[in-house]
């Protein structure tokens, strides 16, 4: 089970901030989320959204072990 965390506007859009999802890879996790909420899946794939697996930013695919934490981070604005 992966512990999925959403932050900022992503959590607001989903209506939840933390959830447990059964997935063996990041692609499977995204597919599971898309199956439940296509609009959220689209937002998670949007420009500037970053993914951290066990607090390390990843690009592309990642294998998820048991008790993995996956965080989706919205684009940051600065100024």
Q: Residue range 2-7: average pLDDT?
A: 97
Question: In this predicted structure, what is the pLDDT of residue 78?
Answer: 56
CA distance 14 to 65: 24
Q: Stretch 6-19: mean pLDDT, rounded?
A: 97
Question: Residue 38 to residues 31, 34, 49, 52, 63: CA-CA distances in angstroms?
Answer: 9, 5, 16, 21, 22
Q: Which residues pair with 54 in a beta bridge?
A: none
Residue 43 has pLDDT above 70, yes or no: yes
Distance CA 9, CA 69 (A): 19
Q: Is the pLDDT of residue 27 over 80?
A: yes
Q: Dihedrals φ, ψ of 78, to 5°?
A: -135, 170
What pLDDT does residue 66 have?
84
């Amino acid at each position: 089970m992966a512990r999925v965390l959403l932050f900022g506007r992503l959590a607001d859009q989903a209506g939840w901030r933390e959830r447990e999802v059964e997935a063996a890879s990041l692609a499977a996790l995204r597919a599971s989320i898309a199956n439940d909420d296509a609009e959220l899946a689209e937002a998670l794939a949007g420009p500037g959204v970053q993914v951290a697996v066990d607090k390390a930013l990843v690009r592309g695919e990642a294998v998820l072990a048991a008790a993995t934490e996956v965080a989706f981070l919205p684009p940051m604005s600065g100024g």
